Amino acid sequence: EWCMGHNLMVEAGQTNAIVTPFWDTYAGEWFFSFNSIYSPQLGNNRYYSVYMSPLLIENPHAVARHLLVMHDGNNLFTPTLKGNHRCPDGSCAPFGSWDLDATLDDQITSGTIYSDIVVLGLFNTDDRENEYTYSYDFSEEAGGKGDLYLSFISDTVLPNLDTLLGEGVVDAPPEDIVLMGSSLGGLISCYAGLAKNTSAEGGLQYGGVGCMSSSFWWNDEDMYNTIIPSNAYNPSVRVWVDSGSDGDGAFQTKKVETALIAEGYSLSDGSIGYYLDKGGIHNEDSWGKRVWRPLQFFFS
């Protein structure tokens, strides 16, 4: 019987190889954690959501070699009143969810993206506008805690995956860790990938950043005017940018894509991906309907 998911590969000439297939599980499992994470950098706590792929549910020997870390983790899945699908703090999906689990199940079981994937969604807080922005915007009278928030992810979240997700569940090298978000979450993701992508050891932090419907208007389009010109092209980092066509920053997103290409990124070699969602708007429904595109870009 042929296994489900993507093709399993071994190097030619290998005499010993370990593969971890799955046959009978068509859906992964997701949950909201009722244990919060404390951020010493920001002095606050937040909950998180998790998606485990069908492979990880079925095969006890499987390990996730790919990790997707997402912002606004309280909006990724549709809460219910049952068990760990209940929202721990009442903040979940106030404007609808991405229904991310359904998209992941479809992409994984069809073999379109890698099966060995975990998604970790970090909840936002009441200080979202400050945490998801790296500079102060005088017109908004807010912003500037982005570096602290990214330090929280790199120095507190990623080193403690065994505690958050279970011992040995994830063993993803930096090149297979992607940081992704939408709106201000897209802005801080692009900033992380372009300007703050060095680990404490001096190596790569993220192999990819997904910037959906990003708030590139922030601080007089500072991403376009300052961040991109002042940070050298890094061939080890792949970047995804997209927007809807209706009131969703399409013009600024296209400017950012053009600027990144001028710095060395290329659509043809897959170092950057771009998509304009005709009719797409700035909400969870639109992001959920097209998230398969960056998933395929990063994980296939």
For tokens 């068990």, the residue is 83
Closest listed residue to residue 136, CA positions, set 192, 220, 252, 216: 220
Q: What is the mean pLDDT of residues 269-282?
A: 98
Is 114:6 a contact under the CB 8 Å cutoff?
A: yes
Where residue 22 falls among pLDDT bands split at 50, 70, 90?
Answer: confident
Whether residue 1 is predicted with pLDDT greater than 60 in this model: the reply is: no
The CA R_g of the chain, rounded to the nearest whole Å, is 19
Domains located in the chain, CATH noted = 29-299 (3.40.50.1820)
Is 174:206 a contact under the CB 8 Å cutoff?
A: yes
Per-residue pLDDT tens over the stretch 60-106: 999 999 999 999 999 999 999 999 999 999 999 999 999 999 999 99
CA–chain centroid gap for 30, Å, is 15
- Alpha carbons within 13 angstroms on the beta-carbon side of residue 130 total 8
Whether residue 15 is predicted with pLDDT greater than 80 in this model: the reply is: no
Per-residue pLDDT tens over the stretch 210-243: 999 999 999 999 999 999 999 999 999 999 999 9
Q: What is the mean pLDDT of residues 182-192?
A: 99
Selected residue with higher pLDDT from 25 and 37? 37
Where residue 20 falls among pLDDT bands split at 50, 70, 90?
Answer: confident
Whether residue 7 is predicted with pLDDT greater than 80 in this model: the reply is: no
Closest listed residue to residue 115, CA positions, set 22, 31, 177: 22
Q: What is the mean pLDDT of residues 256-283?
A: 98
Where residue 171 falls among pLDDT bands split at 50, 70, 90?
Answer: very high
For tokens 């998209």, the residue is 103
Task: Output the CA torsion 12→67→248→192 (10° steps).
Answer: -100
For tokens 């092209």, the residue is 233
Q: What is the mean pLDDT of residues 174-187?
A: 99
Output the pTM of the full model. 0.95
Residue 5, pLDDT score: 74
Indicate the average pLDDT of the chain: 95
